[in-house]
Structure 1
Amino acid sequence: MSHLLVTGGAGFIGSNFVHHVLATTDHTVTVLDALTYAGNRASLDGLPADRFTFVKGDITDVAVVDALVKDADAVVHYAAESHNDNSLDNPFPFVHTNLIGTYTLLEAVRKHGKRYHHISTDEVYGDLELDDPAKFTETTPYNPSSPYSSTKAGSDLLVRAWVRSFGVQATISNCSNNYGPYQHVEKFIPRQITNVIRGIRPKLYGAGENVRDWIHADDHSSAVLTILEKGTIGETYLIGADGEKNNKDVVELILTLMGQPADAYDHVTDRPGHDMRYAIDSTRLRTELGWAPSFQDFESGMKATIDWYRAHEAWWAPAKDKTEAFYASKGQ
């Protein structure tokens, strides 16, 4: 698999994967990205021109997708509409990109006989009770709760059907919440960090009891590369780093690390249908494929993330005012 086609490679998790691949392997990479508001071409600045190509285009464009898949050895599909708040505001782009886009890619890899890896989310499983000792596994039933998570669940099922019905050489990974460089300021962690940088009090949905299982984007990238190279065709692997934290603790850690009082935040109106807890059991990935996260300490990963946002205000500033205006309109 010397040449990878990475869809959504100008987005947060996709761009981190592209940087990881080019830094740790000899592969070449072509990125296909529509550069919607969540895609940022600057996230791919500085990559080696002899090993990296960027194509602006839509994953639902059959002609563009067909030509790029034909020339690739493998496809890694990150491209997705991915923000729950936006899916509640307007579900249609999520149906279009996450379902029609995935279908278009699957048909192309079926036609050309290419290896395919599908990036998904733990949100397809719904949520867990705060006092439930269980974690999500590869056999947890799907129970999505938003237009975002339901369209991601649908895209996962398309992949499984194309494997079974047409023999497509595909794997799936469902990952817990990512944090790290290049994440859009609409997301929870970068929103709080950039608020503090701007002198704005962070915002916390409801009581902040909702628990997420955090993983640094570098660790997600290494896991995906491991699955691509060693994973069993037709199988699903859960990616997690045992990073369960509730939102209140995360906000207070950010404030503390940035030299502010831990209670210097505001409670805002909770999101409709806000899932309570996600937790990933990544035992299969670790035991069968030998993967392990490098960021085992959430605090050290958060320090590195804060340092990145402090050093890259030119990257995130253009989107900040519009994002805050959107949340203000919703009392959040």
Structure 2
Amino acid sequence: MMNLQQLTSPIRVGVLGFGGLGQAAARILAPKQEMIWVAAADKKGYAYDPRGLNPDTCITAYQAQGSLGYIEAGGTLSNQSITDLISQADVNGYFLALPNLPNTFMASVVQEIIKSGWRGVLVDALKRTSAVEQMLQLKDSLQAAGITYMAGCGATPGLLTAAAALAAQSYAEIHSVKITFGVGIANWEAYRATIREDIAHIPGYNVEKAVAMSDAEVEALLDRTNGILALENMEHADDIMLELAGICPRDRVTVGGVVDTRNPKKPLSTNVQITGRTFEGKISTHTFTLGDETSMAANVCGPAFGYLKAGIALNQRGIYGLFTAAEIMPQFVK
């Protein structure tokens, strides 16, 4: 793999979407030496400064006025913020920290980026299998556009999927991959889109119903469940990613978990269990458990930028198209 000295250094990074994950991404990038955060967009505007954006300034403006477009230095209000930003900014790669509601939203954004003629690296933290399937349909278009696209590069799918792909090497056959996550957040409003995506997985709900819910309706649901969302057999793209990587058929992958929207302490430890048969005929299980002190933001945004760095190395070698977190090793961003 190409080392950083052969890359454009530091890597110029943009963040599309500035909700909970987008703001966390800005904070994670701030101390990095190998990446500089220069661009971000929300629904109503964007901010761009080739010298680097200040996370505190951006987050304060967004929370107080509802858009990065109000920032004095580098802010622009726009109803087509993503398109305008991409046409103006000199950026090597973007993290798509966008809510995938409706389920076609991310694919539609990527199609617009392809049409713009921009070349570089895109990374997402998509959850749903069907959303990643839509990206797979764009594989040839991404390749032709000179874009290296890294799909499913958050926590799950992402960090835990990659751990499963690595742990699978001990076995001759994989019998099951079971991902169980615990998420604790102090206030659901900090991650509105993420919580709505989770609600869409609850029996009796779907993406359309979750999108249509008002904030008051979400709060009423959370009141009924004491702030807890228990999720089982989710439509999670870990399954298609592990199938594409040749690890196991997708029906052997299950994902579920518990989200506490009123307590930052995790309700349970996030882990992946990989059960298989060794070449000697023994049945065994590897378990990879994330530390309870690591937040959802740390476990999503950290891997996303690790995969962005890996994608930059591929892109600079002329390798374009679509890859998943189960196919490529992320590179640690210093």
What is the TM-score with the length of structure 2 in the denominator? Answer: 0.44
Instruction: Tell which has more relative contact order, 1 or 2 (C-alpha 8 A, sep 6+).
Output: 2
Structure with the bigger percentage of strand: 2
